[in-house]
Each structure stands twice: as structure tokens, then as C-alpha cells.
Structure 1
Amino acid sequence: MSAFDWLVDNAAIIGEYAAWHIYLSLIPLIAGLLLALPLGWLAHRYRGAYGPMVTSAGLLYTLPSLALFVLLPQVLGTRMLDPLNIISALLVYTVALLVRVVADALAAVPGETALSAEAMGYRPFQRFCLVELPIAVPVIAAGLRVAAASNVSLVSLASLLGIPQLGSLFTTGFQLDYVVPIITGIVGCVVVAWLFDALILLVSHRLTPWRKAGSTT
């Protein structure tokens, strides 16, 4: 069977795998960002908390992914094939990666900007949402791009547990001793990672229109 014939015959399942891959990568990315923002703010706001929080996050990120995938069903009480296990594991990695990114991004906000906001009567939470966070968006977006690529890569390991996504094409290729599914899975993962990267860049540019205006002057 030619590569083209195989792709045509399996187009539906490839599309299904791609949809699952996007879902399993995107949900923990969004949820991880929402959790990392307040945690990063706390680490920035209370400098005594920075070291313990960043160190703890770093230790979490070093956990072996496959071991975490196997351990979580026992912790969560879920079935081994439940996608929630993958989402939860990637949520841990996303938060672990982004806590330091958010804290350092907020720390990079010019001190005079924060003082000016305080002088205008902004309370700490208002200053965070309306002044510091918008300025920190480019740095946070850079960290989010790394987290997105990491998630897309790690999701493929779920094929070892039998959870359908693009990584399942790797096991199919090995079982059939046929390289086309493997190449298709690799290309699919690259495309998904590229789409996430492009989306993050687009949102970042939309949230920081002054940077574009400044670059054209």
C-alpha cells in the first residue's frame, strides 16, 4: 500500500487523533495558566515565598511523565484509560513551568511604573490586573509557548497507556513495521505545536498593541 492510499484510508482516524491531541494539550495549558497567574503573583508579591514556590515548582517539573501517568489513576480514583489522568499530569507540568515565568515577568515590570500606579490609588490586585500583567504579557507568552510545545510532546506518551491521540500512530507504525504512520504522527504533532505557537503569538500581539505601534515609529 502506498503512503497516499494509507493516508486516504485512515484520514478519519487521523483527524480524530488530532482532535484528541489538541484537547489533551490545550485544556491543561489554559487551566495551568489560570492557576499559575495567582501563584506567580504571590511569589512576586511576597519575596519570602519566591524561593520555596519556585523550588517546589521545579521539583514537580522533574517528575517522570510516564510514572506520573501511571500514578495519577490511583490518586484520583480514575480508570487507567481516563483522559483526565493525562490532563491532570500536564496541568502539574504547566503550572510548574509557568509559576516562575509569571513571577519573573512581574518582577521585570519597571519599578517606576508600579509606583506610579500606586500613587494613582491602585490597590495591589488592581495594579496587578490593570498595570503589571499587561506589561508582563510578552514574557508570560514566551513561557506559555514553551509549555505548549512541552504539552504537545508529552501527550504522545499517552499512547503507551492506550489513550487515543497522535502518538497512537507511533505504536501503530511499530506494530505494522510501517513508517508512514510514524511520520504522520510526527508531522501531526509538529503542526499542532505550530498552531498553538501561532495562536499564543496572535493573542499576545492583540493584548499588547502598544508594542506594535512602538516598533513602527
Structure 2
Amino acid sequence: MTDFVAAFGWLFDPVNWAGPGGIPARTGEHIVYTLLTLLLAGAIALPIGFAIGHTGRFRGLAVGVSGALRALPTLGLVVYLALITTNITLMPPLIALTILAIPPLLAGAYSGLESVNRSTIDAARAVGMTEWQVFTKVELPLSLPLVIGGVRSGALQVIATWTVAAILPVGGLGRFLFDGLAVQNYPEMLGGSIIVIVLALVVDGLFALTQKLVVPRGVAAGKVRADRAKDPWRAFGITVPGRQPIP
């Protein structure tokens, strides 16, 4: 309990909110690093995932590659890339974290397109849509919740793991952990950890809200109608004790 009191004392100390090493500056660096990592990973993973989900080809290969990338030790990869790269402090962790973010984005992209009902796609083709129109007007809108779910998972991993990258001379919230460890400033370490947790929770909440907002209105309305058809009393907000919804 004393450690948490000291950590919150460190968090609310005005000294720690000023300058290039202050909490706002480090948080901004962490967010920029995370966005840059997700942009690079998305540029690689999303087109490949969409192609796999649309055509159904190479799915087994994608699953295997994703599993192999997930198995890579991030800290070891960061250190290895730092050893073979000279005078570029940000590049090794950026490459390592991009590799870490690719599997969830890739899985979200191809599983999202695969979740679209095949009869819906066949109907779109039957009315004369081109493959590009089928993808942009049917598959992509219907798959967006799962696609964003993959980005959400990748973002949380990247936010958490960028703290490890502070083993190198880079910015971000990991600086509080490693700099605090060097001088045995445990309130700083715990305070930095709390900031990372809060940032991850905020980002997770924003992505959860986005997933709900991108659901097409027709799909959401259809789900509501289906639920009411199974249990018509629910439309009036009435719950009948002991009554099971109609299957």
C-alpha cells in the first residue's frame, strides 16, 4: 500500500509533468511510436489479409506464418536488431514491434472477410458487381468489426511491449521503468506502469466503441428484429419469469 501511495505521489508531482522527460512528453512519444508501428504493420498485414480472405487462397500459409511470428521473443529480437544496426536507435524496436503487430492484424483481416455470409457475396456477384465492388461495398463493411478487433489486439500488444524497447536509448513510457530501475526509484517505476495501464485501457475502450459504431445499420437492425422474433416480450422491455425465448 505504501508503494502505491508513493507512486501516486510521484504521478501528481508537478516536477514530473514538465520538460522533455515529463509524463506528457513521454506519453506523447509512446503514442507516436504505437501509431507508427500500427501504420507499418497495417500496410503489410491488411492487404495480404484482405487478399487471403477474398480469394480463400494461402490461408494455411498465413496461419503458419502468423504463428511463427507470434513465437518470436520480442526482447531478443529488439536486442539482436540493435546489435546489427548502427547509429539508428529507433529502427530496431520499430522493426521488432511491427513484426509483433502483424499477426493479429493479419488474422483480423482474413477472418473478417471469411465471416461474411457466402450467399451475400454470391448475391452481389449475381447483380453484376465486380470483384472490387464486392470487396469494397459488401465484404469490407461487413467485416470491419473483426478487422478493427485485430487492430485493437495489435494496438494493446504494441502499447505494452514498447515499454520493453526502452532497454535501448529511445523515448516512451518505458523510460520511467528503466531509468527508475537504474537508480532504484520504485515509485517512478510503478507510476510509469500505471500510466501504461491507463493508456492501454483508454485505447481499448476507444477501439471497443469503434467496433460498435462500424457495424452497418442494416445488420444491427436485423439483429434486433431477430432477437425480438425469438422473444417478442423483449420489444416492450418485459421479462417473463421462467419463460424461455423461442428458438
The answer to whether TM tops 0.5 is yes
Counterpart in the other structure of 1:97: 104
Structure 1 contact 106–133 (Cα < 8 Å) conserved: yes
2:127 matched to 1:127?
Answer: no
C-alpha separation between the residues in 2 aligned to 1:72 and 1:58? 21
Among 70, 76, 79, the residue aligned to 1:67: 76
Report the AA paired with residue 58 of structure 2.
A
TM superposition shift of 1:140: 1.7
Q: Cα 1:173–1:128, aligned 2, differ >3 Å: closer, same or farther? A: same
Counterpart in the other structure of 1:39: 48
* Unmatched 5+ stretches in structure 2: 1-5, 226-247
Among 131, 135, 139, the residue aligned to 2:146: 139
Helix, strand or coil for the counterpart of 2:128? Answer: coil
Among 161, 164, 167, the residue aligned to 2:171: 164
Structure 1 contact 69–89 (Cα < 8 Å) conserved: yes
TM superposition shift of 1:215: 6.1
C-alpha separation between the residues in 2 aligned to 1:194 and 1:110? 32
Q: Cα 1:142–1:27, aligned 2, differ >3 Å: closer, same or farther? A: same
C-alpha separation between the residues in 1 aligned to 2:88 and 2:75? 12
2:20 matched to 1:11?
Answer: no
2:128 matched to 1:114?
Answer: no
CA-based RMSD: 2.3
Structure 1 contact 80–161 (Cα < 8 Å) conserved: no
TM superposition shift of 1:10: 1.3
Q: Cα 1:91–1:5, aligned 2, differ >3 Å: closer, same or farther? A: closer
Helix, strand or coil for the counterpart of 2:46? Answer: helix
C-alpha separation between the residues in 1 aligned to 2:86 and 2:214? 38
2:67 matched to 1:52?
Answer: no
Q: Cα 1:132–1:5, aligned 2, differ >3 Å: closer, same or farther? A: closer
C-alpha separation between the residues in 2 aligned to 1:213 and 1:47? 29
Deviations 1:9-65 (A, max 9, x none): 111212111111111112212332343221112222443411112211221221111
| Number of equivalences | 214
C-alpha separation between the residues in 1 aligned to 2:184 and 2:83? 34
Q: Cα 1:178–1:72, aligned 2, differ >3 Å: closer, same or farther? A: closer
Q: Cα 1:181–1:215, aligned 2, differ >3 Å: closer, same or farther? A: farther
More helix, by proportion = 1
What is the TM-score with the length of structure 1 in the denominator? 0.86
TM superposition shift of 1:86: 2.2
What is the TM-score with the length of structure 2 in the denominator? 0.77
Q: Cα 1:5–1:42, aligned 2, differ >3 Å: closer, same or farther? A: closer
Deviations 1:132-180 (A, max 9, x none): 1111111122222211110011100011112121111112222232321
Helix, strand or coil for the counterpart of 1:10? Answer: helix
Q: 1:202-217 alignment to 2 at 5 Å? A: 202-210=209-217, 213=221
Larger radius of gyration: 2
